[in-house]
Structure 1
């Protein structure tokens, strides 16, 4: 089996990192994987195999015949069995390349978010319906993402399955070895994610203001980079929080930060299934998160963490206080969460599920509705709750 993964650009964002990790696991299992980036990017992705770049024009992404032709040439040369488009503009380039240059390989789209929150107008919806008409299968990161997708594009209800994101085994975390300075603060609270509107850093700071009224020694550690970082820094100064909010920038080993924290805070307003939650489970760090997208499929309230109604900042702050003061309860949550992630969300097992999906498509077996939206909210078995 040879799989071509089309990614937006070399960047250390969830979609690109997971595609790289999945490609590595495919090769370790005896398959072949190729990464093709649509746009240029500076990051070194965690994949040691074959990588191509279309060097497409961002200003001509709707008319970029040169890049579409280059993709077709790569496909003709490499002869992959499956093309997987991973978020961003990747499906646009795959669909137009296939339409104009006639290659026959099936296209899979990986749906990693809540697509309805980005498609606002009827025209954009019709355009995306056209793109999805070129897709054999949609693989959603969570049941919530799949349900959301089907509501917008019901014609694909028999062509969508859920395979979640996974995480990598990390011996440094497992053995407690750090490669970073000790995090300061009492308690040490952390958020890991790009500075984008979806991550809701403004709301996070508002929650943190409530927290420090109860725990004045708390420090909030922000790991990540992105377009709204400067705006967030300005907001920190405006709120007088400069001494209590620490910006760490992008980090190659975020798990080492998460492992040291007393709690991970995730007040996102849009999510598919964020890998950082699974990483916190793996690090045995308590999670407090808004009930957004597929988060509730892993953060099961009062079992693996605290799941808070969206935008309820008072309840969020109260849950942080509870997580820090109720050691017996939180130890039970941590044990449940660790069991969940290590038995159902490790990338080596996730890769097997992707291979089965690829084989089904290449064998031209139809997907039936009973394979769609398999329930995952109750994946934790009673024997360890």
Structure 2
């Protein structure tokens, strides 16, 4: 089968990493796969490219992305790539690839290929209503089929855009072979300069509004009042990083001012220096040491599809404490492989985290169950075959299974 995957940019982020790993597995199964990235992204965290892959010479920041919301030259370049590769299936990997895929069909630029959209989040969260919803309903309707990364994601797009064509839930997975040389817990802590007595909470993801790193910071600020050995690692980058680091600096200055005031009054006090508990690690190409060294993964997002970071943490036997959003319940069993926090409140997060840090045996049992659960249910080879079966059902709708 000839499969063209259209993606936003070769940035090393969750959805893009999955598409990269999926393409690799589809190739090992004997398929011809090419990836086309709509936008350039000059950064050290780019994904590797094969000879079949293309990065189109366009920028996502172009004003054309707002008015008229597409770049005509980009569509022409896409047409050339399609004409050259002649795919049977075009898979659009969420985000802005969906509107460009729709325009390929509207302008009849991909006549023979089946057009499939991969939906990775909650439709209503990102597009609650109004004209934008109407436009996206029109675009989504141009697809021959949809794949949701979770039942929650697929249901949201079907309900929100009234999509009635073939659709399937195919959970995301990850290639565990990339962790074959990962260090164990002790080696990882030594590598990162962490002590065994320290209680490590990990935030791993983009520092963006929907991921709510500010909520994570509030959780840490409350916990350190009673847990002197707590250490919070923030691994990731994004538009909120500078603001978060500034908040830490401001709180530290306030603490120093309070300490000086107390000392001038000759009264003994304990002043918490937040910077000594929180460490910003930025983007890391190899996240294995951070996962291996952690006691808990903390997911504070307001929206998710099916977060790959939960799967990766489980692989290392690290349970997750998470907001109950999107498809999280499809990859985390509450009370068995981690804890869910439906309320999203700081107090409830702290209660769950305190309990797991205080009960090491339970934490390890949860971690072991999490690893078993994801190892059984989120295998990349199984996922790749599910994609192929869905593609085949669209290409040959009347064939017997």
Fold shared by both chains (TM-score > 0.5):
yes
Contact 1:269 1:310 in 2 (8 A): no
Name the SS of the counterpart of 2:225 in structure 1.
helix
Please identify, of 157-166 and 179-188, the stretch whose mean Cα deviation from structure 2 is larger: 179-188
2:64 pairs with one of 57, 60, 65: 60
Aligned to 1:19: 19
CA deviation after TM superposition for structure 1 residue 153, in Å: 1.6
Structure 2 unaligned blocks of 5 or more? 253-273
Provide the rounded CA distance (Å) in 1 between the counterparts of 2:32 and 2:282: 34
Contact 1:82 1:107 in 2 (8 A): yes
Aligned to 2:161: 153
- 1:320 paired to 2:353: yes
CA deviation after TM superposition for structure 1 residue 63, in Å: 4.1
Contact 2:183 2:288 in 1 (8 A): no
Aligned to 1:220: 232
Provide the rounded CA distance (Å) in 1 between the counterparts of 2:166 and 2:194: 46
Provide the rounded CA distance (Å) in 1 between the counterparts of 2:64 and 2:211: 29
Aligned to 2:180: 171
CA deviation after TM superposition for structure 1 residue 158, in Å: 4.4
Aligned to 1:377: none
Contact 2:201 2:294 in 1 (8 A): yes
Please list, as runs of the form range in 1=range in 2, the aligned pairs for 1:219-238 lying within 5 A after superposition.
219-238=231-250
CA distances 1:121-143 after superposition (whole Å, capped 9, x unpaired): 32001100111121011111111
Aligned to 1:277: 310
Aligned to 1:201: 213
1:50 pairs with one of 49, 52, 63: 52
Structure 1 unaligned blocks of 5 or more? 367-385
1:124 pairs with one of 128, 132, 141: 132
Aligned to 1:9: 9
- Kindly tell me the number of residue pairs found equivalent between the two proteins: 365
Aligned-CA RMSD value: 1.9
- Per the normalisation by structure 2, the TM-score is 0.86
Aligned to 2:370: 337
- 1:255 paired to 2:288: yes
Contact 2:119 2:148 in 1 (8 A): yes
Runs of 4 or more above 6 Å deviation: 174-177
CA deviation after TM superposition for structure 1 residue 30, in Å: 1.0
Contact 2:184 2:292 in 1 (8 A): no
Change (3 A) 1:183 1:357: farther
Please identify, of 323-332 and 179-188, the stretch whose mean Cα deviation from structure 2 is larger: 179-188
Contact 2:183 2:292 in 1 (8 A): no
Name the SS of the counterpart of 1:329 in structure 2.
helix
CA distances 1:75-97 after superposition (whole Å, capped 9, x unpaired): 11101111011122112112213
CA deviation after TM superposition for structure 1 residue 365, in Å: 4.9
Provide the rounded CA distance (Å) in 2 between the counterparts of 1:60 and 1:73: 20
CA deviation after TM superposition for structure 1 residue 101, in Å: 4.2
CA deviation after TM superposition for structure 1 residue 174, in Å: 7.7
Aligned to 1:28: 28
Aligned to 1:295: 328
CA distances 1:230-274 after superposition (whole Å, capped 9, x unpaired): 111112223331121101111111122111111111111111111
Aligned to 2:169: 162
Change (3 A) 1:291 1:63: closer
CA deviation after TM superposition for structure 1 residue 38, in Å: 0.6
Aligned to 2:97: 90
- Per the normalisation by structure 1, the TM-score is 0.90
CA deviation after TM superposition for structure 1 residue 357, in Å: 1.1
CA deviation after TM superposition for structure 1 residue 337, in Å: 0.8
Aligned to 1:75: 82
Provide the rounded CA distance (Å) in 2 between the counterparts of 1:188 and 1:122: 44
Provide the rounded CA distance (Å) in 2 between the counterparts of 1:174 and 1:47: 27
